[in-house]
Amino acid sequence: MNVRDSEVICGLLKNSGYKICGDEKQADVIILNTCSVRQHAEDRVWSQIGSFKKAGNKRLIIGVVGCMAKNYAEKIFERAPDVDFVVGPQDIHKIPEILSKISKDNLFERKVWEVDGSIRPNEIYHNSFYQEKEHAYLVISEGCSNFCSYCVVPFVRGRLRHRELKNIVKEAEDAVAGGLTRITLLGQNVNAYKDGDVNFTKLLQRLDKIAGLKQLTFFTSHPKDTHPDFFKAIRDSEKLLKSLHLPLQSGSDRILKAMNRGYSAKEYLALIDSYRKIVKGALLTSDIIVGFPGESEDDFKQTYDLVKKAEFNAAYIFKYSPRPHTEALKMADDVEKADKEKRHAKLLELQRGISNKKNAK
Ligand code: 5AD
Ligand code: SF4
Protein backbone atom coordinates (compact mmCIF):
# COMPACT_ATOMS: atom_id res chain seq x y z
CA MET A 1 0.00 0.00 0.00
CA ASN A 2 2.82 2.40 0.81
CA VAL A 3 4.69 1.57 -2.38
CA ARG A 4 1.59 2.62 -4.34
CA ASP A 5 1.07 5.72 -2.18
CA SER A 6 4.66 6.75 -2.89
CA GLU A 7 4.03 6.33 -6.61
CA VAL A 8 0.92 8.48 -6.30
CA ILE A 9 2.93 11.20 -4.55
CA CYS A 10 5.69 11.00 -7.19
CA GLY A 11 3.10 11.23 -9.96
CA LEU A 12 1.45 14.29 -8.41
CA LEU A 13 4.80 16.01 -7.96
CA LYS A 14 5.96 15.18 -11.48
CA ASN A 15 2.77 16.67 -12.87
CA SER A 16 3.49 19.81 -10.83
CA GLY A 17 6.91 20.21 -12.45
CA TYR A 18 9.15 18.44 -9.93
CA LYS A 19 11.82 15.94 -10.96
CA ILE A 20 12.42 12.69 -9.10
CA CYS A 21 16.04 12.74 -8.01
CA GLY A 22 18.09 9.59 -7.58
CA ASP A 23 20.39 10.96 -4.90
CA GLU A 24 19.07 12.29 -1.60
CA LYS A 25 22.14 14.53 -1.21
CA GLN A 26 21.07 16.49 -4.26
CA ALA A 27 17.39 16.65 -3.42
CA ASP A 28 15.66 19.92 -2.52
CA VAL A 29 12.74 18.02 -1.04
CA ILE A 30 12.82 14.73 0.88
CA ILE A 31 9.53 13.04 1.70
CA LEU A 32 9.41 10.06 4.04
CA ASN A 33 6.35 7.91 3.47
CA THR A 34 5.99 6.08 6.75
CA CYS A 35 4.47 2.92 8.23
CA SER A 36 3.17 2.42 11.78
CA VAL A 37 2.23 -1.25 11.67
CA ARG A 38 5.04 -2.23 14.04
CA GLN A 39 7.39 -0.26 16.30
CA HIS A 40 10.36 -1.43 14.27
CA ALA A 41 9.09 0.36 11.13
CA GLU A 42 8.73 3.59 13.10
CA ASP A 43 12.16 3.29 14.73
CA ARG A 44 13.77 3.08 11.31
CA VAL A 45 12.08 6.31 10.23
CA TRP A 46 13.15 8.20 13.37
CA SER A 47 16.74 7.25 12.78
CA GLN A 48 16.52 8.08 9.08
CA ILE A 49 15.09 11.56 9.69
CA GLY A 50 18.11 12.26 11.86
CA SER A 51 20.42 11.61 8.93
CA PHE A 52 18.77 14.28 6.74
CA LYS A 53 20.14 17.23 8.71
CA LYS A 54 19.83 20.63 7.13
CA ALA A 55 23.41 21.65 7.92
CA GLY A 56 24.60 21.24 4.32
CA ASN A 57 21.47 22.58 2.65
CA LYS A 58 19.44 25.13 4.56
CA ARG A 59 16.76 25.18 1.88
CA LEU A 60 16.15 21.45 2.06
CA ILE A 61 12.48 20.70 2.72
CA ILE A 62 11.70 17.56 4.73
CA GLY A 63 8.20 16.09 4.88
CA VAL A 64 6.82 13.19 6.88
CA VAL A 65 3.73 11.61 5.35
CA GLY A 66 1.70 8.45 5.85
CA CYS A 67 0.69 6.57 8.96
CA MET A 68 3.29 8.01 11.35
CA ALA A 69 2.09 11.50 10.41
CA LYS A 70 -1.38 10.54 11.54
CA ASN A 71 -0.06 8.74 14.60
CA TYR A 72 2.26 11.45 15.93
CA ALA A 73 1.10 14.70 14.24
CA GLU A 74 2.70 17.72 16.05
CA LYS A 75 4.89 15.44 18.13
CA ILE A 76 7.01 14.85 15.00
CA PHE A 77 8.25 18.46 15.15
CA GLU A 78 9.26 18.02 18.80
CA ARG A 79 11.27 14.91 18.09
CA ALA A 80 12.59 15.90 14.66
CA PRO A 81 12.98 19.72 14.53
CA ASP A 82 14.23 19.69 10.92
CA VAL A 83 10.89 18.43 9.59
CA ASP A 84 8.92 21.11 7.68
CA PHE A 85 5.56 19.48 7.10
CA VAL A 86 3.49 16.51 8.19
CA VAL A 87 0.66 15.01 6.09
CA GLY A 88 -1.53 12.03 6.97
CA PRO A 89 -2.28 9.24 4.46
CA GLN A 90 -5.68 10.62 3.46
CA ASP A 91 -4.25 14.01 2.52
CA ILE A 92 -1.36 13.14 0.26
CA HIS A 93 -3.09 15.00 -2.60
CA LYS A 94 -2.28 18.27 -0.81
CA ILE A 95 1.48 17.79 -1.07
CA PRO A 96 2.10 19.82 -4.29
CA GLU A 97 0.16 22.77 -2.86
CA ILE A 98 2.00 22.55 0.47
CA LEU A 99 5.38 22.49 -1.28
CA SER A 100 4.57 25.51 -3.41
CA LYS A 101 3.50 27.41 -0.28
CA ILE A 102 6.64 26.43 1.58
CA SER A 103 8.98 27.40 -1.23
CA LYS A 104 7.28 30.74 -1.96
CA ASP A 105 6.65 31.92 1.55
CA ASN A 106 9.66 32.44 3.78
CA LEU A 107 7.40 33.09 6.72
CA PHE A 108 5.85 29.69 6.33
CA GLU A 109 4.93 28.14 9.62
CA ARG A 110 5.62 24.47 10.16
CA LYS A 111 2.35 22.70 10.15
CA VAL A 112 0.47 19.44 10.25
CA TRP A 113 -1.62 19.18 7.08
CA GLU A 114 -3.59 16.22 8.14
CA VAL A 115 -7.27 16.29 8.84
CA ASP A 116 -9.80 13.65 9.60
CA GLY A 117 -9.22 10.78 7.23
CA SER A 118 -11.52 12.14 4.52
CA ILE A 119 -11.81 10.36 1.17
CA ARG A 120 -8.95 10.74 -1.27
CA PRO A 121 -9.93 12.36 -4.55
CA ASN A 122 -10.14 9.65 -7.18
CA GLU A 123 -8.08 11.66 -9.71
CA ILE A 124 -4.87 11.20 -7.72
CA TYR A 125 -4.72 7.56 -8.76
CA HIS A 126 -4.87 8.43 -12.46
CA ASN A 127 -1.43 9.96 -12.78
CA SER A 128 0.20 7.03 -14.63
CA PHE A 129 3.31 6.96 -12.47
CA TYR A 130 4.49 3.37 -11.92
CA GLN A 131 7.88 2.29 -10.61
CA GLU A 132 7.90 -0.90 -12.61
CA LYS A 133 7.74 -1.26 -16.38
CA GLU A 134 5.29 -4.12 -16.64
CA HIS A 135 3.56 -4.28 -13.30
CA ALA A 136 1.11 -1.91 -11.60
CA TYR A 137 -0.30 -1.78 -8.08
CA LEU A 138 -3.93 -0.72 -8.05
CA VAL A 139 -5.74 0.35 -4.87
CA ILE A 140 -9.34 -0.93 -4.74
CA SER A 141 -10.16 0.02 -1.18
CA GLU A 142 -8.69 2.18 1.56
CA GLY A 143 -8.69 1.71 5.32
CA CYS A 144 -10.09 -1.18 7.35
CA SER A 145 -13.00 -1.69 9.74
CA ASN A 146 -12.00 -5.09 11.12
CA PHE A 147 -10.33 -3.84 14.28
CA CYS A 148 -8.10 -6.83 14.93
CA SER A 149 -7.08 -6.03 18.47
CA TYR A 150 -3.34 -5.67 17.73
CA CYS A 151 -3.67 -3.53 14.60
CA VAL A 152 -3.23 0.22 14.18
CA VAL A 153 -4.49 0.33 10.57
CA PRO A 154 -8.16 1.27 11.27
CA PHE A 155 -6.90 4.20 13.35
CA VAL A 156 -4.26 5.56 11.00
CA ARG A 157 -5.85 4.76 7.63
CA GLY A 158 -9.43 5.14 8.76
CA ARG A 159 -12.47 2.93 8.23
CA LEU A 160 -12.96 0.83 5.10
CA ARG A 161 -13.91 2.74 1.95
CA HIS A 162 -14.29 1.18 -1.49
CA ARG A 163 -13.29 2.83 -4.73
CA GLU A 164 -15.95 2.83 -7.45
CA LEU A 165 -15.83 -0.02 -9.95
CA LYS A 166 -15.76 2.32 -12.94
CA ASN A 167 -12.70 4.16 -11.59
CA ILE A 168 -10.86 0.91 -10.89
CA VAL A 169 -11.63 -0.41 -14.38
CA LYS A 170 -10.52 2.84 -15.98
CA GLU A 171 -7.25 2.85 -14.04
CA ALA A 172 -6.59 -0.77 -15.04
CA GLU A 173 -7.44 -0.09 -18.70
CA ASP A 174 -5.23 2.99 -18.79
CA ALA A 175 -2.34 1.06 -17.20
CA VAL A 176 -2.68 -1.69 -19.82
CA ALA A 177 -2.96 0.87 -22.64
CA GLY A 178 0.29 2.34 -21.30
CA GLY A 179 2.03 -1.01 -21.75
CA LEU A 180 1.66 -2.61 -18.31
CA THR A 181 0.69 -6.26 -18.41
CA ARG A 182 0.46 -7.34 -14.77
CA ILE A 183 -1.71 -5.83 -12.02
CA THR A 184 -1.79 -6.40 -8.26
CA LEU A 185 -5.00 -5.21 -6.59
CA LEU A 186 -4.49 -3.73 -3.14
CA GLY A 187 -6.67 -3.39 -0.07
CA GLN A 188 -6.34 -4.28 3.62
CA ASN A 189 -9.10 -6.82 3.02
CA VAL A 190 -9.81 -7.09 -0.70
CA ASN A 191 -12.47 -9.78 -0.22
CA ALA A 192 -14.75 -7.27 1.51
CA TYR A 193 -14.88 -5.16 -1.70
CA LYS A 194 -18.29 -3.82 -2.63
CA ASP A 195 -19.71 -1.32 -5.07
CA GLY A 196 -23.50 -1.73 -5.32
CA ASP A 197 -24.03 -5.36 -6.28
CA VAL A 198 -20.44 -5.80 -7.44
CA ASN A 199 -18.43 -7.85 -4.96
CA PHE A 200 -14.76 -8.82 -5.17
CA THR A 201 -15.42 -11.89 -7.32
CA LYS A 202 -17.37 -9.79 -9.83
CA LEU A 203 -14.64 -7.17 -9.83
CA LEU A 204 -12.07 -9.85 -10.68
CA GLN A 205 -14.29 -11.22 -13.43
CA ARG A 206 -14.64 -7.72 -14.91
CA LEU A 207 -10.88 -7.07 -14.84
CA ASP A 208 -10.17 -10.52 -16.28
CA LYS A 209 -11.79 -9.33 -19.52
CA ILE A 210 -9.34 -6.49 -20.17
CA ALA A 211 -7.59 -7.26 -23.44
CA GLY A 212 -3.82 -7.01 -23.14
CA LEU A 213 -3.80 -7.71 -19.41
CA LYS A 214 -1.78 -10.86 -18.84
CA GLN A 215 -1.69 -11.39 -15.09
CA LEU A 216 -3.78 -10.36 -12.13
CA THR A 217 -3.27 -10.90 -8.40
CA PHE A 218 -4.38 -9.31 -5.12
CA PHE A 219 -3.41 -8.59 -1.49
CA THR A 220 -4.70 -9.21 1.26
CA SER A 221 -7.55 -11.60 2.04
CA HIS A 222 -9.19 -12.05 5.44
CA PRO A 223 -10.29 -15.63 6.25
CA LYS A 224 -13.68 -14.46 7.50
CA ASP A 225 -14.55 -13.04 4.04
CA THR A 226 -13.00 -15.83 1.96
CA HIS A 227 -15.29 -18.64 0.72
CA PRO A 228 -15.21 -21.71 -1.58
CA ASP A 229 -17.18 -19.77 -4.24
CA PHE A 230 -14.35 -17.33 -4.35
CA PHE A 231 -11.85 -20.18 -4.83
CA LYS A 232 -13.88 -21.32 -7.84
CA ALA A 233 -13.53 -17.82 -9.27
CA ILE A 234 -9.74 -18.07 -8.87
CA ARG A 235 -9.82 -21.47 -10.57
CA ASP A 236 -11.93 -20.24 -13.48
CA SER A 237 -10.10 -17.01 -14.11
CA GLU A 238 -7.81 -16.88 -17.09
CA LYS A 239 -5.44 -14.27 -15.73
CA LEU A 240 -5.47 -14.64 -11.97
CA LEU A 241 -2.36 -16.10 -10.39
CA LYS A 242 -3.28 -19.25 -8.48
CA SER A 243 -2.01 -17.69 -5.32
CA LEU A 244 -3.57 -16.53 -2.06
CA HIS A 245 -2.17 -14.59 0.88
CA LEU A 246 -4.34 -15.56 3.83
CA PRO A 247 -3.05 -14.32 7.19
CA LEU A 248 -3.48 -16.89 9.96
CA GLN A 249 -2.00 -14.78 12.82
CA SER A 250 -2.31 -17.57 15.41
CA GLY A 251 -3.14 -21.26 15.66
CA SER A 252 -4.70 -20.96 19.13
CA ASP A 253 -8.44 -20.33 19.36
CA ARG A 254 -8.01 -18.48 22.63
CA ILE A 255 -5.53 -16.06 21.03
CA LEU A 256 -7.54 -15.76 17.80
CA LYS A 257 -10.49 -14.69 19.91
CA ALA A 258 -8.40 -12.15 21.83
CA MET A 259 -7.15 -10.88 18.46
CA ASN A 260 -10.77 -10.45 17.29
CA ARG A 261 -10.10 -12.42 14.11
CA GLY A 262 -13.54 -14.02 13.76
CA TYR A 263 -12.49 -17.63 12.94
CA SER A 264 -11.12 -20.69 14.72
CA ALA A 265 -8.03 -22.74 13.88
CA LYS A 266 -10.30 -25.54 12.65
CA GLU A 267 -12.21 -23.19 10.35
CA TYR A 268 -8.94 -21.86 8.96
CA LEU A 269 -7.70 -25.36 8.19
CA ALA A 270 -11.00 -26.28 6.52
CA LEU A 271 -10.77 -23.12 4.41
CA ILE A 272 -7.28 -23.82 3.09
CA ASP A 273 -8.19 -27.44 2.50
CA SER A 274 -11.10 -26.32 0.33
CA TYR A 275 -8.83 -23.80 -1.47
CA ARG A 276 -6.31 -26.49 -2.35
CA LYS A 277 -8.97 -28.93 -3.48
CA ILE A 278 -10.59 -26.38 -5.78
CA VAL A 279 -7.54 -24.58 -7.19
CA LYS A 280 -4.98 -26.84 -8.85
CA GLY A 281 -1.37 -25.95 -8.03
CA ALA A 282 -2.55 -23.38 -5.53
CA LEU A 283 0.08 -21.31 -3.72
CA LEU A 284 -0.63 -20.21 -0.19
CA THR A 285 1.20 -17.65 1.96
CA SER A 286 0.42 -16.26 5.39
CA ASP A 287 1.22 -13.83 8.24
CA ILE A 288 1.73 -14.96 11.83
CA ILE A 289 2.27 -13.03 15.05
CA VAL A 290 4.12 -14.59 17.99
CA GLY A 291 4.09 -13.25 21.55
CA PHE A 292 0.60 -11.69 21.56
CA PRO A 293 -0.44 -10.72 25.13
CA GLY A 294 -1.19 -13.82 27.17
CA GLU A 295 0.26 -16.27 24.61
CA SER A 296 1.36 -19.32 26.62
CA GLU A 297 3.79 -22.04 25.54
CA ASP A 298 0.74 -24.16 24.79
CA ASP A 299 -0.85 -21.45 22.59
CA PHE A 300 2.45 -21.17 20.74
CA LYS A 301 2.61 -24.93 20.29
CA GLN A 302 -0.83 -24.83 18.65
CA THR A 303 0.45 -22.20 16.20
CA TYR A 304 3.56 -24.29 15.56
CA ASP A 305 1.49 -27.40 14.89
CA LEU A 306 -0.89 -25.56 12.60
CA VAL A 307 1.96 -24.07 10.57
CA LYS A 308 3.35 -27.59 10.21
CA LYS A 309 -0.01 -28.84 8.97
CA ALA A 310 -0.81 -25.87 6.74
CA GLU A 311 2.43 -26.13 4.74
CA PHE A 312 2.46 -22.53 3.54
CA ASN A 313 4.69 -21.78 0.57
CA ALA A 314 5.95 -18.83 2.58
CA ALA A 315 4.95 -16.95 5.72
CA TYR A 316 5.88 -13.63 7.28
CA ILE A 317 6.42 -14.13 11.00
CA PHE A 318 6.25 -11.11 13.30
CA LYS A 319 6.93 -10.50 16.97
CA TYR A 320 3.96 -8.78 18.61
CA SER A 321 4.48 -5.03 18.88
CA PRO A 322 2.14 -2.96 21.10
CA ARG A 323 0.46 -0.23 19.03
CA PRO A 324 -1.29 2.98 20.11
CA HIS A 325 -5.14 3.15 20.06
CA THR A 326 -5.52 -0.64 19.85
CA GLU A 327 -7.50 -2.90 22.19
CA ALA A 328 -4.45 -5.11 22.74
CA LEU A 329 -2.59 -2.12 24.18
CA LYS A 330 -4.88 -2.44 27.21
CA MET A 331 -3.60 -5.99 27.77
CA ALA A 332 -0.23 -6.53 29.41
CA ASP A 333 2.56 -7.19 26.88
CA ASP A 334 3.52 -10.08 29.12
CA VAL A 335 5.46 -12.47 26.88
CA GLU A 336 9.13 -11.99 27.80
CA LYS A 337 11.28 -10.54 25.03
CA ALA A 338 13.49 -13.63 25.13
CA ASP A 339 10.45 -15.90 24.69
CA LYS A 340 9.19 -13.82 21.76
CA GLU A 341 12.62 -14.16 20.15
CA LYS A 342 12.69 -17.89 20.78
CA ARG A 343 9.21 -18.50 19.37
CA HIS A 344 9.97 -16.29 16.38
CA ALA A 345 13.20 -18.18 15.61
CA LYS A 346 11.53 -21.56 16.08
CA LEU A 347 8.66 -20.78 13.75
CA LEU A 348 10.97 -19.22 11.17
CA GLU A 349 13.08 -22.34 11.15
CA LEU A 350 10.05 -24.56 10.74
CA GLN A 351 8.68 -22.41 7.91
CA ARG A 352 12.07 -22.19 6.19
CA GLY A 353 12.19 -25.99 6.01
CA ILE A 354 8.63 -26.17 4.64
CA SER A 355 9.30 -23.40 2.07
CA ASN A 356 12.48 -25.10 0.88
CA LYS A 357 10.72 -28.42 0.50
CA LYS A 358 7.79 -26.88 -1.38
CA ASN A 359 9.95 -24.70 -3.60
CA ALA A 360 12.19 -27.63 -4.52
CA LYS A 361 9.10 -29.28 -5.99
N1 5AD B 1 2.51 -6.54 16.01
C2 5AD B 1 3.05 -7.49 15.21
N3 5AD B 1 2.61 -7.74 13.97
C4 5AD B 1 1.56 -7.01 13.51
N5 5AD B 1 0.90 -7.04 12.33
C6 5AD B 1 -0.06 -6.10 12.36
N7 5AD B 1 -0.05 -5.46 13.54
C8 5AD B 1 0.96 -6.01 14.28
C9 5AD B 1 1.45 -5.79 15.58
N10 5AD B 1 0.91 -4.88 16.40
C11 5AD B 1 1.20 -7.99 11.26
C12 5AD B 1 0.02 -8.92 10.98
C13 5AD B 1 -0.48 -8.41 9.65
C14 5AD B 1 0.79 -7.90 9.01
C15 5AD B 1 0.64 -6.95 7.89
O16 5AD B 1 1.48 -7.28 10.08
O17 5AD B 1 0.50 -10.24 10.87
O18 5AD B 1 -1.12 -9.40 8.89
FE1 SF4 C 1 -5.33 -4.72 10.56
FE2 SF4 C 1 -7.05 -6.78 10.87
FE3 SF4 C 1 -7.62 -4.77 9.14
FE4 SF4 C 1 -5.64 -6.51 8.56
S5 SF4 C 1 -7.84 -6.99 8.76
S6 SF4 C 1 -5.56 -4.24 8.37
S7 SF4 C 1 -4.79 -6.94 10.59
S8 SF4 C 1 -7.45 -4.59 11.39
Task: Identify whether residues 246 and 361 lie together within a single domain.
Answer: yes
Q: Is the CB of 305 under 6 A from ligand 1?
A: no
Pocket probe for ligand 1: among 42, 144, 150, 246, the residue whose CB has the most ligand atoms within 8 Å is: 150
CA pair distance 153, 147, nearest whole angstrom: 8
What pLDDT, on the 0 to 100 scale, is given for residue 121? 87
CA pair distance 34, 42, nearest whole angstrom: 7
Residue whose CA is at the smallest distance from ligand 2 atom 4: 188
- Contact call for residues 232 and 267 (beta carbons, < 8 A): no
What pLDDT, on the 0 to 100 scale, is given for residue 127? 80
Proportion of the chain above pLDDT 70, given as a percent: 94
CA pair distance 71, 88, nearest whole angstrom: 8
| Domain-ending residue, one of 241, 257, 281 | 241
CA pair distance 213, 204, nearest whole angstrom: 12
Proportion of the chain above pLDDT 90, given as a percent: 80
DSSP letter for 321, please: -
> Which pLDDT tens digit goes with each residue over 186-230?
999 999 999 999 999 999 999 999 999 999 999 999 999 999 999
Asked, for residue 172, whether it belongs to a domain, the answer is yes
Task: Identify whether residues 75 and 95 lie together within a single domain.
Answer: yes
Pocket probe for ligand 1: among 35, 38, 39, the residue whose CB has the most ligand atoms within 8 Å is: 38
Q: Residues 6 or more apart from 325 whose CB is under 8 A from it?
A: 152, 155
Give bridge partners of residue 61 from the DSSP assignment: 29
Asked, for residue 120, whether it belongs to a domain, the answer is no
What pLDDT, on the 0 to 100 scale, is given for residue 103? 74
Asked, for residue 45, whether it belongs to a domain, the answer is yes
CA pair distance 209, 130, nearest whole angstrom: 22
Asked, for residue 119, whether it belongs to a domain, the answer is no
> Which pLDDT tens digit goes with each residue over 146-180?
999 999 999 999 999 999 999 999 999 999 999 99
CATH code for position 232: 3.30.750.210
Q: Is the CB of 35 under 6 A from ligand 1?
A: no
Pocket probe for ligand 2: among 2, 139, 153, the residue whose CB has the most ligand atoms within 8 Å is: 153
What pLDDT, on the 0 to 100 scale, is given for residue 95? 93
CATH code for position 93: 3.40.50.12160
Task: Identify whether residues 223 and 264 lie together within a single domain.
Answer: no
Task: Identify whether residues 221 and 267 lie together within a single domain.
Answer: no
CA pair distance 185, 136, nearest whole angstrom: 9
Q: Is the CB of 222 under 6 A from ligand 1?
A: no
What pLDDT, on the 0 to 100 scale, is given for residue 107? 47
CATH code for position 283: 3.30.750.200
Task: Identify whether residues 230 and 253 lie together within a single domain.
Answer: no
DSSP readout, 255-276? Answer: HHHHTT-S--HHHHHHHHHHHH
Q: Is the CB of 144 under 6 A from ligand 2?
A: yes
Domain count, the chain: 3
* Cα 55 to Cα 27, 105, 253, distances in angstroms: 14, 21, 54
CA pair distance 274, 277, nearest whole angstrom: 5
- Mean pLDDT value across residues 2-23: 94
What pLDDT, on the 0 to 100 scale, is given for residue 50? 83
Task: Identify whether residues 33 and 103 lie together within a single domain.
Answer: yes
| Domain-ending residue, one of 206, 241, 276 | 241
pLDDT over threshold 90, residue 359: no
Q: Which helix (H) or strand (E) holds 29?
A: strand 29-34
| Domain-ending residue, one of 70, 87, 114 | 114
Task: Identify whether residues 90 and 139 lie together within a single domain.
Answer: no
Task: Identify whether residues 8 and 109 lie together within a single domain.
Answer: yes
Asked, for residue 256, whether it belongs to a domain, the answer is yes
65 against 56, higher pLDDT: 65
The overall average pLDDT reported for the chain is 93
> Which pLDDT tens digit goes with each residue over 243-283?
999 999 999 999 999 999 999 999 999 999 999 999 999 99
Asked, for residue 235, whether it belongs to a domain, the answer is yes
Task: Identify whether residues 90 and 163 lie together within a single domain.
Answer: no
Q: Which helix (H) or strand (E) holds 32?
A: strand 29-34
Asked, for residue 125, whether it belongs to a domain, the answer is no
Backbone angles phi, psi at 193, to 5 degrees: -55, 140
Task: Identify whether residues 227 and 335 lie together within a single domain.
Answer: no
Q: Is the CB of 221 under 6 A from ligand 1?
A: no
- Residue 98 CA to ligand 1 centre (angstroms): 32
Task: Identify whether residues 163 and 267 lie together within a single domain.
Answer: no
Q: Specify the ligand 2 atom closest to the Cα of 220.
A: 4
Residues of the domain holding 90: 2-114
Q: Does the model's pTM come out above 0.85?
A: yes
Task: Identify whether residues 180 and 286 lie together within a single domain.
Answer: no
Asked, for residue 123, whether it belongs to a domain, the answer is no
Q: Is the CB of 320 under 6 A from ligand 1?
A: yes
